[in-house]
Amino acid sequence: MKVHFKLFSIYSLLIFSSIFLFSCGGSEQQNSSAKKQKPDKELTFREINGIRYYEVKRRFSNGLSFNKDGFMQVPTWIIEYKHPDTMLAYSPEKKGMEAFYLHFDHGRVYNFAREYFRLRMVTKDSIILQRLEVKARMIAGGEVSDVNSTYYTLDYIQNVLKTTIGELQRPTKADTAYIKSLSERTYRNPGNPDTAFAATEPVIFKPKSNFVTASKINERDTMNNRQSYAYMYPEYRLEIKRAYRDFNYRFSVVVDVKGNLYVNRVEGVMPDDMPARKKLLQGITDVYLKNLFTVVPGKTLGIPHSSEVTVNLKGIFSQ
């Protein structure tokens, strides 16, 4: 009996020890897992109260300032946090800093100046904000929320980087290479609207005669209460005072690097009538626009390429 009791005691001790060690190991694993799952320390603006920052880079996550449509991210903002819930931002209209309520939404997402941002990094020298597109309280995916803005203090720019704000804001060599590649695609098929892209220096129509006029229409985005990016959707009013008859047409043309015009979209026409109308407008374009205007092609970073523009063409008959 004594032998059996001793064996039982030894087995019990071994089992208890195993359970204890397993429990301790499990607790350590749970603690380790909890540490891994614990969110990083929340970033806030509290540590940078009263420090002014200048936007020096605004780029997509691939590092480029441009997308395939020719839209260019341009760094222009100046911001300064004021405790506890105010963000100052430079207003070009007021030519000074304007105060906006800084609304904390969730996580690292904030709203001020009618824009949403995710705070990615904040130090006494720099800030990185991810600009977000929010619709119905949901952050949109894709390119619209794929923009990172980098801000530096003036002291950091001048005394550490030894440069200027303007120099840091310039497009990069990668931007130039990208625009060259997009432009070369348009050279292979000049009139193709699918490869044409918006020019930051839009097409120019220069009248050759005093009986034709050209003016650029600047549209305003009233839905978002901001000036629309006019170079993305350039629109012109062209008037011919000695036309063969009175007419008003609204259509788009692709303008290639040689100033040739290719009619693309036509408004206010039934599908069955579209081929005939496009043929008519191409004839008017070749006879009137090509001969009465000097057409300067659009450019981006000084590189000419095909781009699409909208034309409001008015003809006035006179004998």
Whether 135 shows a pLDDT value over 80: the answer reads no
Residue 181 lies inside a defined structural domain of this protein: yes
Average pLDDT of every residue of the chain:
84
What share of the chain in percent tops pLDDT 70? Answer: 79
Residue 23 lies inside a defined structural domain of this protein: no
Kindly report the pTM of this predicted structure: 0.80
- C-alpha 78/C-alpha 55 separation (Å) is 6
Residue 288 lies inside a defined structural domain of this protein: yes
What share of the chain in percent tops pLDDT 90? Answer: 68
CATH number of the domain enclosing 62 = 2.40.128
Residue ranges making up the domain that contains 142: 46-170
Structurally, how many domains does the chain consist of? 2
For 155-199, what is each residue's pLDDT tens digit? Answer: 999 999 999 999 999 999 999 999 999 999 999 999 999 999 999
Whether 9 shows a pLDDT value over 60: the answer reads no
Q: Residue 202 carries which side chain, given as an amino acid letter?
A: P
Those residues whose C-beta lies under 8 Å from the C-beta of residue 57, and which sit 6 or more positions away, are 75, 148, 149, 150, 168, 169
pLDDT of residue 211: 92
pLDDT of residue 94: 86
Whether 316 shows a pLDDT value over 80: the answer reads yes
pLDDT of residue 105: 81
Whether 298 shows a pLDDT value over 50: the answer reads yes
Are residue 166 and residue 192 in the same domain, yes or no?
no
pLDDT of residue 235: 95
Are residue 222 and residue 292 in the same domain, yes or no?
yes
Are residue 181 and residue 100 in the same domain, yes or no?
no
Are residue 53 and residue 156 in the same domain, yes or no?
yes
pLDDT-derived band at 143 (thresholds 50, 70, 90) equals low
